[in-house]
Amino acid sequence: MTHNEPNPWQLKSTRIAYQNPWMTIHEDSVVTPTGKDGIYGYLESNDSVMVVATNAAKEIFMVKTFRYPQKTWNWELPGGGGDKEDPITASKRELEEESGLLSDHWTELGSTAVCNGFMTEQMTSLLAESVTGAGIKQPDEQAIADSGFFSLKTIDGMVDRGEVNDGQTLAALYLYKRYLDRQHITGDSLIH
Amino acid sequence: MADWKTITSNVVYETPWMKIVEDRIVNHNGKELTYSYLKLQDEAVTIIATDDAGRILLQKQYRYPLRTTQWELPAGHTDGQPALEAAKRELLEETGLTSESWHHLGRLNLAAGIADIKHDLFLAKNATMTTDERDEEEDIVHQGFYAPEEVRRMLHEGEITDGDSMVILYKYLYEYTDADQA
């Protein structure tokens, strides 16, 4: 969504404070909207994708993956950094890498700003329907302890119990429910 | 499958709000590698405040990393406080609102692969304006109460794309019932 309000921050100078292949930390010297000198540090990374992959029974594929920043195993949808690819190309690659699944039916579900105070990352959620198994290409490279197809009802229960708490996974699941409502014209439902 | 082990951990960049941590680790395959991530200095809170008519407070805020304004809910850092106390403070600072009816709606990890950012989500019902003073450091360009139907329309038409605001608004508008308060 583009808005027309002018940038209330004045940029004085900018430097790269840290960089690796996955992230660049920018540190901008700024004049804040209230006229004070300050710094704004933020993380630039590739935009990302999240995939809602459904089988013939409309069950959704999820993976239990290790997240080093939290030091925990989390149930999430497959997805990841886009390597500067377009969302569908990135999604096909991420889905195949994490699950060995293929699909010929892709639909874009919506866009999400992952953490707009500190990061530039925009996430695109995509739906891959009628997926078929092709075998995981590099299973050793993925920190995946478990995976499987779950009904939306089962996943709703996992969310309610706090077993699914990844913000990007939840955003993609809500965008999928929004899509289902539009398909079925069920009005104010977001399907349960 | 084994957890990843930390060998060394260094803060390579820091502001009052966040830091970049660069760790040497051993992953599940026994491979040694460098893993960097962003960590907030504190946790974060996001608040849905409703007035006595059930309307929801939304604000449009300029977000410097994206160079654009976004529709979102009041949010902020815990600054070392318990999450609920921080939510009360942030709501008052950003909006001048207070509430006697607070409810915890959940807890999120944002950007799990590249960051450690934990958000507690709160609902503040029957919020009332108690002061005209606002924290002038906040980058808010517009604020107002919107009927639930209008917020649903904004979600459906993709006008609200801020991650934590989106998730909590969907959860509140479509799944929350008064029974959940028990």
What pLDDT, in 10s, does the model give residues A129-159?
999 986 666 556 668 888 999 999 999 999 9
Q: How many CA atoms lie within 13 A of B145 on its CB side?
A: 15
Check residue A1 and give its pLDDT: 44
Q: From the list A80, A112, A144, which residue is nearest B113 (CB)?
A: A80
DSSP string of A129-153, one letter each residue: ES-EE---S-GGGS-EEEEEEE-HH
If you compute the radius of gyration of chain B from its CA atoms, what whole number of angstroms results? 18
- Residue B88 confidence (pLDDT) above 70: yes
- A112 contacts in chain B (CB < 8 Å): 161-163, 166
Task: Choose the mutation target among A27, A32, A49, A114 for the interface with B, i.e. most B CBs under 10 Å.
Answer: A114
A116 residue type, one letter: N
What digits encode the pLDDT tens for the residues B9-64?
A: 999 999 999 999 999 999 988 999 999 999 999 999 999 999 999 999 999 999 99
Strands B75-77 and B44-49: antiparallel
CA end-to-end span of chain A? 28
Neighbours of B132 (CB within 10 A): 6
Average pLDDT over residues B69-88: 96
Q: From the list A20, A30, A143, which residue is nearest B28 (CB)?
A: A143
Percent helix, strand, coil in chain B, to 5, is 25, 45, 30
Give yes or no for a contact between A100 and B50, defined as CB atoms under 8 angstroms apart. Answer: no
- Residue A123 confidence (pLDDT) above 90: yes
Which residues on adjacent β-strands are paired with residue B13?
B20
- B170 contacts in chain A (CB < 8 Å): 174, 177, 190
Average pLDDT over residues B115-120: 94
- B164 contacts in chain A (CB < 8 Å): 115, 167
Contacts of A184 (CB under 8 A, 6+ apart): A191
- Shortest distance between the Cα of B52 and any Cα of chain A, in A, equals 22
- Residue B182 confidence (pLDDT) above 60: no
Contacts by A82-86 with C-beta closer than 8 Å and gap 24+? A82/A46, A82/A47, A82/A48, A82/A49, A82/A124, A83/A46, A84/A46
Average pLDDT over residues A148-176: 95
Task: Choose the mutation target among A120, A147, A170, A175 for the interface with B, i.e. most B CBs under 10 Å.
Answer: A170
Is A142 in the B-facing interface, judged by CB distances under 8 Å? no
**Residues, chain B:** 182
Give yes or no for a contact between B2 and A145, defined as CB atoms under 8 angstroms apart. Answer: no
**Residues, chain A:** 192
Cα–Cα distance, A125 to B4 (Å, whole number): 28
How confident is the prediction for chain A on average, in pLDDT? 90
Residue percentage of chain B with pLDDT more than 90: 82
> DSSP state, A174?
H
A167/B29 touch (CB, cutoff 8 Å), yes or no: no
- Shortest distance between the Cα of A93 and any Cα of chain B, in A, equals 17
B112/A33 touch (CB, cutoff 8 Å), yes or no: no
DSSP string of chain A, one letter each residue: ---------EEEEEEEEEEETTEEEEEEEEE-TTS-EEEEEEEE---EEEEEEB-TT--EEEEEEEETTTTEEEEE-SEEE-TT--HHHHHHHHHHHHH-EE-SEEEEEEEEES-TTTB--EEEEEEEES-EE---S-GGGS-EEEEEEE-HHHHHHHHHTTS--BHHHHHHHHHHHHHHHHHHT-SS----
Check residue A88 and give its pLDDT: 92
B109/A33 touch (CB, cutoff 8 Å), yes or no: no
B167/A170 touch (CB, cutoff 8 Å), yes or no: yes
B80 residue type, one letter: G
Which residues on adjacent β-strands are paired with residue B103?
B123
Check residue A99 and give its pLDDT: 87
Contacts of B178 (CB under 8 A, 6+ apart): none
Nearest to A102 by CA among A74, A137, A76: A137
What digits encode the pLDDT tens for the residues A84-105?
A: 889 999 999 989 888 899 999 9
Which residues on adjacent β-strands are paired with residue B38?
B20, B115
Cα–Cα distance, B90 to B75 (Å, whole number): 7
Check residue B139 and give its pLDDT: 79
Average pLDDT over residues A64-86: 89
Of residues A171 and A96, more confidence is placed in A171
Is A47 in the B-facing interface, judged by CB distances under 8 Å? no
Nearest to A25 by CA among A47, A7, A45, A39: A45
